Amino acid sequence: MMVAVAPNGARKQKTDHRALPITSAELAEAAVECQEAGASMIHLHVRDDRGGHLLDAQAYGAATAAVRGAVGPDMIIQVTTEAVGIYSVDEQIAVVKELQPEAVSLAVREFCPGAEDEVRAGGFFSWLQQERICPQYILYSAEDVLRFNSLRDRGLIPGDNISVLYVLGRYSETGASSAAELLPMLSAAGSGVIWSVCAFGATEASCMLVAAGLGGHARVGFENNMQLLNGDIAANNGALINQVAEGVGSMGRHIASGSEARSLLGMQ
């Protein structure tokens, strides 16, 4: 079972948690801590001088270099293209083409909000495949899954085994997640997908264990949640990974190494 960490996200600040990593050095330190806890991937967000969300190839390059220098070659470094209402699709595409990361996350509803956007998005998705950049398609609902299936059936999303992330709790009234949200997404899903789950709120770990039992993978971290199952605030991102790792064995799984994760994702 792959466990990815999303250590900071686009919005939270040090006022939310003093261990929230913002700078390249802090991200590198968090990456080591999380790798030791069992994370095989880190999902990176970078910030501007005021702590705001940033899509910038140079900033990503600095953060990636710092993380890679700290963790070595095994851990997968995935960057986000999240728009946060600031960036256009053209800007999202441009930063990825300039940076050429090894892995990137993409929200289908951001890149393909309408039928008129499909040709541009499909061209970009094909470019990712040609450049051997590993995409993960972010899906927030069963409707998103059906749209993803349609794009895939029409060849706009290429590949045989494709990584997707199901997001739980993003649009719930309470902001908390329920593992039951996963079921309609799985029911709508097609074959040949490698699926992971992220979840908002203190039920994060329980949602991950449900995913483990159903054959999925996990993404945890301060981006979506800072609480342990007992309600305490986690000391750091590593504590959230430890909480998941401790339960995965009971589901008949083991935590994937970076090398195993790369093999599962077809990156080797």
- Indicate the pTM of the whole model: 0.96
State in words which class domain 3-261 has.
alpha beta
| 236-262 residue pLDDT tens | 999 999 999 999 999 999 999 999 999
| 42-90 residue pLDDT tens | 999 999 999 999 999 999 999 999 999 999 999 999 999 999 999 999 9
For residues 182 and 166, the answer to whether their CB atoms sit within 8 Å is: yes
According to the model, what pLDDT value does residue 256 have? 97
According to the model, what pLDDT value does residue 215 have? 96
Q: Is the pLDDT of residue 221 over 90?
A: yes
Q: Is the pLDDT of residue 16 over 90?
A: yes
Question: Which 3 state secondary structure label does DSSP give 136?
Answer: strand
According to the model, what pLDDT value does residue 177 have? 86
162-168 and 217-220 strand pairing: unpaired
Which of 37-41, 143-147, 166-170, 184-188 has the weakest average pLDDT?
Answer: 166-170
| 116-166 residue pLDDT tens | 999 999 999 999 999 999 999 999 999 999 999 999 999 999 998 899 999
User: What are the residues whose beta carbons fall under 8 Å from the beta carbon of 44, sequence distance 6 or more?
Assistant: 27, 60, 63, 64, 67, 77, 78, 79, 80
Q: What is the rounded CA–CA span in Å between residue 10 and residue 216?
A: 25
What average pLDDT is seen over the chain? Answer: 95
The tokens describing 239, both together, are 């504590």
Ranges of each domain in the chain:
3-261
